[in-house]
Amino acid sequence: MHKNPALTVDAIAIKDGQIILIKRKNPPFQGSYALPGGFVDYGETVENAVIREFKEETGLNAEIKDFIGIYSEPDRDPRGHTVSAVFELMISGGTMLAGDDAAEVSLFSLDELPDLAFDHGKIIADYILFLAIR
């Protein structure tokens, strides 16, 4: 049987000049901060998945503002090979409230980030470079 990587999405959203991060409720990296995101459901587009996952984990509605990139290092997730499509989102409503796989949802300055799960430190560093050239 052929093994394929799992497809995931991650969201970068800025609120009041700070990035939104969730504290993970479940392993792996339980208790660590991460970008809101998760697995793409079968039959779902990555665009719909990132908006759905962001809403489920933060309580906030959002629209896609930009595409940031694809992250595909085979060891980025200890559960197995995942490939993540990362999007910048613009918040369009809702109330910030942790849900689904998130124990907490918090705001952090881009220059004072906590330790991050997965490769999310690299993703945010790439996003900061992206902002500098946009």
Q: Which of 47, 63, 104, 112 is catalytic?
A: 104
Give the C-alpha separation, 67 to 70, whole Å: 9
The contacts of residue 10 (CB under 8 Å, 6+ apart) are: 35, 36, 37, 50, 71, 84, 85, 86, 87, 120, 123
Active site residue 104: yes
> What's the Cα-to-Cα distance from 63 to each of 29, 81, 88, 103, 127, rounded to whole Å?
27, 27, 9, 23, 17
Q: What is the spatial distance between Cα 88 and Cα 134, in angstroms, rounded to a whole number?
A: 13
Which tokens belong to 9?
């999405």
Catalytic residue positions, numbered: 104
